[in-house]
Structure 1
Amino acid sequence: MMMDTLTATLAPYALAPLGTLPDQGRSIVLIGPDEPAFWPLFTQSPEYKDGAPNPMDRWSRRVFTHLAATLDAEPLFPFGGPTYAPFYSWAISTGRFWTSPISFLVHDKTGLFASFRGALRMPGKYPQEKSAKPCDTCAQPCATACPVDAFASGYDVAACKTHVSSDKGRDCRTGGCLARRACPIGQANRLPAQSAFHMESFL
């Protein structure tokens, strides 16, 4: 029931719990967009419309601060550092995220479009659901989908940015990373407009 209540509280903001880990008698719940509902909701927010920098981070800070006050929790964010909260290691500890063949996090429901808008450190012990790593039974198309082999040895950020900025990289720029989109999990949930927004921020 604890998780059901939290899920219902997050739903009006098009957010969803993605994984839970224990934290000294409390629980850290990692939270991300509930897609595809998230993008239409976010684009109606004052942060998106005001033209100021970092609209999604500002939206997240406002919403998570409100949620924390409502739920007697502590808001935690993957931005605003240094220092930065260890979201990557937290994610691995939930048992619902893993390191993918291209080194990005992969989630059991959102695939390679796993992302965090924040986390809540909640009072009490929330259930920790665990899943089997999906990559173990997958053909791993993400590993070969990049047109410039940016993931051939680690992650070649410079090669990725050069391609995405070019005419040949228009599909990646407007529709999202081809490697992420190749993952069979959750691939239909991320709207192209949201991917384009993130790509613009990346560049």
Structure 2
Amino acid sequence: MEHPILNAIRRAAFTPLGWFQPAPEDGVPEDARFVILIGNAGPDMFRRFARERDPSRDAMDDWTRDAVTRLAGDLDARAVYPFEMEPPWPFLRWARRGGAGHVSPLGLNIHPIYGLWHAYRAALLFPVEFDIPAQEPGAHPCQSCPVKPCLTACPVSAFDGSRYDVPVCAEHLKMPQGEECMSRGCLARHACPVGQGFAYAPAQAKFHMRAFLAARQKV
């Protein structure tokens, strides 16, 4: 989809993942007339992060807030983030509204293009509406997937189709047997055939897995 606002988001190395005109039941701040969900899909955003910060010690949330605040200012928008409040903003509900995909058996959003290899980093809230055609999520790819390899690829069976056993996953990553998951990223994600071309490169995968473990240690 081409549009000046969407192109500006892409030039900042973020991916526009979905958009919608909010209704009262969406839980969007009342002054917003249009919402665009942005994040990473593929390597572009991580490459910019790695140029501007040190991935070995800097947090992506801090960089995201700085980078998106500047982008929002350039676009006359306000930004809200999935990590800024408790309870968090309902980004997955907004993804449904924005035509950005479906809920996968892993509980993650599966995007029609990017598969499981994307993440929401912010929502841009605009005080005006835009003439961007609504995005359609298409047919749910998991419903036509007969094998569902994502549910059997995890070496410690952390996924069963209804829940994600976070402690079991985290403990596995700390063990020598978890090195493949730490270096490549989640094997359940890799097993999904959708969006394989956007799978994270090793440096990006390792960064996110280390960040996941660090967050678990704070729980």
**Would the TM-score normalized by the shorter structure come out above 0.5?**
yes
Which deviations, in whole Å up to 9, do the C-alpha atoms of 1:72-120 show, x marking residues without a partner? Answer: 1111111122242111211122232211012121111111122011110
Which of 131, 144, 161 matches 2:170? Answer: 161
Could you state the TM-score of these two structures normalised by the residue count of structure 1?
A: 0.89
1:179 offset after TM fit, Å? 0.4
Question: Which amino acid letter does the alignment assign opposite residue 8 of structure 2?
Answer: T
Structure 1 gap segments, 5+ residues each: none
The answer to whether 1:129 aligns with 2:135 is: yes
| Mapped partners of 1:148, 1:67: distance in 2 | 41
Q: The residue matched to 2:159 in structure 1 has which SS?
A: coil
1:50 offset after TM fit, Å? 8.9
CA contact (8 A) 1:103 1:154 kept: yes
Superposed, which structure 2 residues align to 1:15-164 within 5 Å? 15-24=14-23, 26-45=33-52, 47-48=53-54, 51-52=57-58, 54=59, 56-122=60-126, 123-125=128-130, 126-130=132-136, 131-139=138-146, 140-152=148-160, 153-164=162-173
Q: Which moved more, 1:107-116 or 1:18-27?
A: 18-27
CA RMSD of aligned residues (A): 2.0
Percent identical pairs in the alignment equals 38
| Mapped partners of 1:21, 1:121: distance in 2 | 10
Question: Which amino acid letter does the alignment assign opposite residue 66 of structure 2?
Answer: R
| Mapped partners of 1:16, 1:42: distance in 2 | 14
Q: 1:165 to 1:57 in 2, by over 3 A?
A: same
Structure 2 gap segments, 5+ residues each: 24-31, 214-219
Count of matched residue positions in the alignment of Structure 1 and Structure 2: 199
The 4+ residue runs of structure 1 with deviation greater than 4 A are: none
Give the equivalent residue in structure 1 for 2:216. Answer: none
CA contact (8 A) 1:100 1:106 kept: yes
1:65 offset after TM fit, Å? 1.0
Could you state the TM-score of these two structures normalised by the residue count of structure 2?
A: 0.83
